[in-house]
């Protein structure tokens, strides 16, 4: 079948937007009276002046109200660029590490276990418990360490979040992502976001690692987005694109490294989606997610990636498939213990894989800044 050309849909090949003229519309002025109606009413003398004054007063009241709402919203959001700069400066004045790469450790990558995890193998580590960092939320998930770790992985300066903030903990999305903006202000250029996820793709097995190729922002469909509210251009634009969210070059490097480490049989690539949690999905929900093209489902990462791309960080995403999302009613139910167990079992592989990736990503970034 010949592809449909949008410009031929109406039988006309000459549908050029530049040539199109728009029908005339009567503009409302925001007070329920149109400019045309105002013109009709125009009559000389005092009544017209009073009408104009009242309109102007109403407009300036409205403007004031909008300003007030903006202020309230910023206060409610609890931070501004300056506030986060304060947080970043607090950290920078207490460590000599200038991180190039930021890592969010998901389940299995150091958020739960000390021994052998990536976060515990950071060289020259300097640790900052979240409760000591100004303006930082605290981690409420049982077993989460809740600290920022500065140091080096394979020689590259990094900062790792050992424990992330989830929406189901009660934090709004912008607050879950606050550390990503702090990372940006610390000088981080690349974000590695890792997570534990349920596998929807029938070819995936428990213990597989999925390079995230793309995501579906399910929570965004309901209007919940970390960028919701006033936009500060110092972080990024009002309408950021998301079609290249997961860096193509990083994904290729990850596939190459998987071959070098001979783990390519467990390394997959796919689309991740995040639901707010904390419950695992119903069978009908899992079926729907499969239908719309999701390969793995979790409770994090998507909003962090949106925040990172908004402030122009390069992103790499990785999911550990901790359970099979079996879409029938008589199969075993998902549970958090299984997620933790698989994370623990894959810890060593993940540590080796991610530390090699950090080294390669850092080399790539240094090569990019060479003249």
Ligand X SMILES: Nc1nc2[nH]cnc2c(=O)[nH]1
Ligand Y SMILES: O=P(O)(O)O[C@@H]1C[C@H](O)[C@@H](CO)O1
Residue 266 has φ and ψ, to the nearest 5°, of: -110, 0
Interaction of residue 219 with ligand X, rule CB under 6 A: no
Q: Which stretch binds ligand X (CB under 6 A): 40-48, 78-86, 164-172, 322-330?
A: 322-330
Interaction of residue 198 with ligand X, rule CB under 6 A: yes
Nearer to ligand Y, 148 or 339 (CB): 339
160 binds, among ligand Y, ligand X, none (CB under 5 to 8 A by kind): none
Shortest separation between residue 341's beta carbon and ligand Y, angstroms = 11
Considering 160, 218, 254, 299, which one is annotated as catalytic?
A: 299
186: tokens are 């610390």
Interaction of residue 346 with ligand Y, rule CB under 6 A: no
Nearer to ligand X, 85 or 340 (CB): 340
Interaction of residue 119 with ligand X, rule CB under 6 A: no
Nearer to ligand X, 166 or 314 (CB): 166
Region 137-196 residues binding ligand X, contact defined as CB under 6 A: 196
Contact between 148 and 158 (Cβ < 8 Å): no
Interaction of residue 325 with ligand X, rule CB under 6 A: yes
CB-CB neighbours of 142 under 10 Å: 7
- Region of 125 (left: φ > 0; alpha: ψ -120 to 50; beta: rest) is beta
Q: Which of 300, 281, 273, 258 is nearest to 214 (CA)?
A: 273
106 binds, among ligand Y, ligand X, none (CB under 5 to 8 A by kind): ligand Y
Contact between 275 and 297 (Cβ < 8 Å): yes
Interaction of residue 322 with ligand X, rule CB under 6 A: yes
Active site residue 196: yes
- Region of 138 (left: φ > 0; alpha: ψ -120 to 50; beta: rest) is beta
Q: 273-299: buried (b, 16+ CB within 10 Å) or exposed (e) per residue?
A: bbbeeeebbeeebbeebbeeebbbbbb
64: tokens are 């004031």
Among 298, 306, 327, 347, binds ligand X (CB under 6 A): 298
333: tokens are 């139910």
Interaction of residue 117 with ligand Y, rule CB under 6 A: no
Interaction of residue 196 with ligand Y, rule CB under 6 A: yes
SS3 240: coil
Rounded Cα distance between 217 and 289, Å, is 11
Interaction of residue 218 with ligand X, rule CB under 6 A: no
Rounded Cα distance between 79 and 238, Å, is 17
297 binds, among ligand Y, ligand X, none (CB under 5 to 8 A by kind): ligand X
Catalytic residue annotation: 107, 144, 166, 168-169, 196, 299-300, 323, 336
Give contact residues for ligand X (rule: CB under 6 A): 196-198, 275, 277, 280-281, 297-299, 322-323, 325, 334, 339
Give contact residues for ligand Y (rule: CB under 6 A): 106-107, 164, 166, 195-196, 277, 298-300, 336, 339
């Amino acid at each position: 079948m010949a592809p449909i050309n949008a410009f031929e849909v109406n039988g006309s090949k000459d549908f050029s937007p530049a040539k199109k003229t728009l029908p005339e519309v009567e503009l409302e002025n925001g007070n329920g009276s149109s400019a045309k109606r105002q013109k009709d009413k125009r009559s000389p003398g005092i009544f017209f002046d009073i009408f104009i004054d009242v309109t102007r007063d109403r407009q300036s009241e409205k403007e004031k109200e909008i300003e007030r709402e903006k202020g309230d919203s910023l206060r409610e959001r609890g931070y501004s660029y300056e506030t986060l700069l304060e947080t970043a400066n607090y950290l920078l004045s207490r460590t000599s590490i200038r991180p190039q790469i930021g890592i969010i450790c998901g389940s299995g990558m150091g958020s739960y276990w000390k021994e052998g995890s990536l976060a515990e193998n950071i060289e020259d580590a300097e640790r900052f418990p979240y409760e000591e960092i100004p303006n930082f939320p605290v981690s409420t998930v049982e077993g989460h360490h809740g600290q920022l770790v500065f140091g080096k992985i394979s020689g590259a300066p990094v900062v790792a979040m050992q424990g992330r903030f989830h929406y189901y903990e009660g934090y709004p999305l912008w607050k879950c992502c606050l550390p990503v903006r702090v990372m940006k202000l610390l000088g981080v250029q690349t974000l590695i976001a890792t997570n534990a996820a349920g596998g929807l793709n029938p070819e995936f097995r428990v213990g597989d690692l999925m390079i995230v190729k793309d995501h579906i922002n399910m929570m965004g469909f309901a209007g919940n987005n970390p960028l919701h509210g006033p936009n500060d251009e110092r972080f990024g634009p009002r309408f950021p694109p998301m079609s290249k969210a997961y860096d193509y070059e990083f994904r290729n490097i990850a596939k190459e490294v998987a071959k070098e480490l001979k783990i390519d049989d467990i390394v997959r690539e796919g689309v991740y989606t995040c639901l707010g949690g904390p419950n695992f999905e119903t069978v009908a929900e899992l079926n729907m997610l499969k239908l719309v093209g999701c390969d793995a489902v979790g409770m994090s990462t998507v909003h962090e990636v949106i925040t990172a791309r908004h402030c122009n960080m390069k992103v790499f995403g990785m999911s550990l498939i901790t359970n099979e999302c079996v879409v029938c009613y008589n199969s075993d139910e998902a549970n958090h213990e299984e997620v933790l167990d698989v994370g623990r079992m894959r810890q060593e592989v993940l540590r080796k894989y991610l530390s090699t990736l950090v080294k390669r990503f850092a080399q790539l970034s240094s090569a990019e800044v060479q003249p």
